[in-house]
């Protein structure tokens, strides 16, 4: 049985292609039914990728079926953006996706939950079987290892999250710190969500158009403050996030300096996400005032992205280790049915031959002697099979180019894989970096 993956992602397809292919839970269920020839199937649909995973004994047929499914969903043009992985390459891809090494924002945490949801949906629909479940479980475990052993997801890489991260360097935790949003646009809303997550409270909203401030305050459970009373709001606030379209500075040194004494020199963190700027650049020179603009925040994001890229290298080696382990375990598992068949066949022969011998002897031997003959026959096959059993088990766990299990199946006329088609993998861990490179090139 081979794992197969066909799909599009932010790396290969523009948004208009991805949005055509994006599937809701009901559409996924329908799509799962349309995948023909696969023993198991799963669909992963997020805003950055749509991928079809299948387990099949003849991947070519399933690949064709998936291609026609993609063409029917997104049009023939979408096939140009399609990537395909099969066998170990598909496995590596699944592990990398789950560990967020293939994500648009490297190391983002959402993707792991999305893959879990995809598997759960496939299980509910009865399309996920043991192969997919095992592969996904191993991918989840390695993703968790990547999260706990590297710092790939730690550094902030969005404007709002980087601003909140910077604020924690002044205040430690933001719990109970009053935040003032000046401006009530999309950026303010995004910042508010991050501030809420960091448990900043209260969140004050001040906007030239009061109605918009009220709208945002309702969404984020904040309080509206008069735009005309910005000084009063500033006295209360610990953090200020500016994102208005004002063509002139709203906060200048002359305006803020007299307020510092009233604030009893409490630190004031100000971040300006607006262009043109809302905060005068010299405001940061005031004692206890920490003011940052878009460029400063971008600098942090760039540093953090670099840090994530460095961590990604560590993550890749964790993935390689985990895949090697998975392949090893799978090889052992694959060799077990051959062993069981070999032993069952040998025992059957031994018992039959012992029975025939005992029939020939008739009643001339006692019950004790009868049992001894049967035991001797089984002892012979045990002795004979001891070495091959040990070798098969040993080689099952050892990644190498040859497969003794296949050879044993061939030699003794057994069915490899316990009645299933023979697995095609060689037991050799795949080259993760090569697959990752291929993924990037596509």
Partner 1 sequence: MSHRLLSLACHGYAIAAILYLGYLIRQWRLFAIGGRLLVGGCLVLHAVALGGELAGQGGMPVGLAQGLSAVAFLLLAIFFVLDLRFRIPVMGAFITPAAVAVLLPALLISGREPIPSTFRRPLLPVHITIALAGVAAFAVAAGVAVMYLLMERQMKGKRFGLLFSRLPSLTFLDQLNKQLVLWGFVALSVTLITGAFFSSSSAGLFWRWEPKEIATVVAWIVFAVLLNARFFAGWRGRRVAVLTMAGFCVLLVSFFSSYDPSRQLGVFR
What residues line the site for partner 1 (CB under 8 A)?
A: 168-172, 261, 263-267, 284, 287-288, 290, 292, 296, 299-300, 303
Q: Report phi then psi at 182, rounded to 5.
A: -105, 110
Least distance to partner 1 from the beta carbon of 89, Å?
34
Rank residues 172 and 360 by Cβ distance to partner 1 and give the closer one. Answer: 172
Rank residues 300 and 354 by Cβ distance to partner 1 and give the closer one. Answer: 300
Q: What is the DSSP string of 283-347?
A: GGGSTTEEEE-HHHHHHHHHHHHHHHHHHHHHHHHHHHHHHHHHHHHHHHHHHHHHHHHHHHHHH
Rank residues 132 and 155 by Cβ distance to partner 1 and give the closer one. Answer: 155
Which of 152, 160, 433 has the alpha carbon at shortest distance from 307? 152
Q: What burial letters (b/e) apply to 65-89, b meaning 16+ CB within 10 Å? A: bbbebbeebbeeebeebbbbbbbbb
Least distance to partner 1 from the beta carbon of 288, Å?
5
Tokens encoding 71: 């063409």
The alpha carbon of 212 is separated from its chain's Cα centroid by a whole number of angstroms, namely 37
Rank residues 61 and 317 by Cβ distance to partner 1 and give the closer one. Answer: 317
d(CA 277, CA 296): 12
Contacts of 206 (CB under 8 A, 6+ apart): 180, 181, 182, 213, 224, 225, 226, 227, 230, 233
Residue matched to tokens 């990037």: 440
Helix (H, G, I), strand (E, B) or coil at 43: strand
d(CA 292, CA 240): 10
Helix (H, G, I), strand (E, B) or coil at 280: coil
Q: How much is the CA Rg of the chain, to the nearest whole Å? A: 32
Other beta carbons within 10 Å of 281 = 12
Least distance to partner 1 from the beta carbon of 186, Å?
25
Are 4 and 85 in contact, with CB atoms under 8 Å apart?
A: yes
Least distance to partner 1 from the beta carbon of 430, Å?
31
Rank residues 288 and 397 by Cβ distance to partner 1 and give the closer one. Answer: 288
Are 181 and 202 in contact, with CB atoms under 8 Å apart?
A: no
Least distance to partner 1 from the beta carbon of 170, Å?
5
Name the catalytic one among 5, 47, 201, 242: 47
Are 335 and 404 in contact, with CB atoms under 8 Å apart?
A: yes
Instruction: Tell me, yes or no, if 47 is annotated catalytic.
Output: yes
Which of 129, 133, 125 has the alpha carbon at shortest distance from 26? 125
Rank residues 202 and 284 by Cβ distance to partner 1 and give the closer one. Answer: 284
Least distance to partner 1 from the beta carbon of 287, Å?
6
Rank residues 54 and 301 by Cβ distance to partner 1 and give the closer one. Answer: 301
Q: Report phi then psi at 7, rounded to 5.
A: -175, -175
Least distance to partner 1 from the beta carbon of 285, Å?
8
- The C-alpha angle 22, 25, 30, rounded to 5 degrees, equals 85
Rank residues 238 and 425 by Cβ distance to partner 1 and give the closer one. Answer: 238
Least distance to partner 1 from the beta carbon of 407, Å?
46
- The C-alpha angle 194, 199, 203, rounded to 5 degrees, equals 75
Rank residues 100 and 304 by Cβ distance to partner 1 and give the closer one. Answer: 304
State the pairing for strand pair 83-86/2-9: antiparallel
Other beta carbons within 10 Å of 398 = 12
Least distance to partner 1 from the beta carbon of 95, Å?
26
List, by residue number, the catalytic residues.
47
């Amino acid at each position: 049985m081979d794992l197969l993956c066909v799909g599009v992602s932010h790396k290969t397809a523009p948004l208009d292609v991805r949005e055509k292919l994006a599937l809701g839970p009901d559409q996924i269920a329908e799509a799962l039914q349309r995948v023909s020839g696969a023993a198991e199937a799963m669909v992963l649909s997020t805003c950055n990728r749509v991928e079809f995973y299948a387990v099949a004994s003849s991947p070519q047929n399933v690949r064709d079926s998936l291609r026609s499914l993609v063409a029917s969903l997104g049009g023939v043009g979408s096939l140009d953006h399609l990537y395909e992985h099969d066998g170990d390459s598909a496995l590596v891809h699944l592990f990398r996706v789950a560990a967020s090494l293939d994500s648009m924002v490297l190391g983002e945490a959402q993707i792991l939950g999305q893959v879990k949801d995809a598997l759960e949906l496939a299980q509910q629909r009865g399309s996920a079987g043991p192969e997919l479940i095992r592969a996904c479980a191993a991918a989840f475990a390695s993703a968790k290892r990547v999260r706990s052993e590297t710092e790939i997801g730690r550094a902030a890489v969005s404007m709002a999250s980087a601003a909140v991260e910077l604020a924690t360097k002044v205040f430690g935790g933001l719990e109970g710190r009053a935040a003032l949003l000046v401006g009530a646009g999309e950026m303010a809303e995004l910042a508010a969500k991050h501030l809420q997550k960091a448990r900043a409270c209260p969140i004050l909203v001040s906007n030239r158009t009061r109605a918009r401030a009220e709208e945002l305050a309702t969404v984020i459970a904040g309080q509206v403050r008069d735009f005309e009373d910005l000084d009063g709001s500033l006295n209360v606030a610990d953090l200020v996030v500016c994102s208005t379209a004002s063509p002139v500075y709203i906060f200048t040194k002359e305006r803020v300096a007299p307020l510092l004494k009233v604030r009893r020199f409490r630190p004031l963190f100000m971040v300006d996400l607006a262009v043109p700027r809302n905060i005068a650049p010299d405001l940061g020179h005031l004692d206890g005032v920490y003011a940052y603009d878009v460029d400063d925040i971008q600098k942090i994001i760039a540093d953090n992205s670099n840090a994530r890229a460095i961590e990604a290298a560590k993550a890749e080696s964790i993935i390689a280790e985990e895949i090697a382990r998975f392949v090893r375990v799978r090889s052992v598992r694959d060799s077990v049915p051959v062993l069981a068949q070999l032993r069952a066949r040998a025992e059957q022969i031994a018992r039959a031959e012992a029975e025939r011998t005992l029939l020939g002897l008739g009643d001339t031997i006692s019950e004790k002697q009868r049992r001894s003959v049967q035991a001797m026959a089984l002892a012979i096959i045990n002795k004979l099979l001891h070495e091959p059993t040990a070798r098969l088990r040993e080689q099952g766990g050892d990644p190498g180019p040859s497969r003794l299990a296949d050879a044993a199946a061939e030699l003794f006329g057994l069915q490899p894989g316990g009645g299933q088609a023979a697995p095609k993998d060689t037991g050799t861990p795949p080259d993760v970096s090569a697959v990752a490179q291929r993924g990037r090139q596509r």
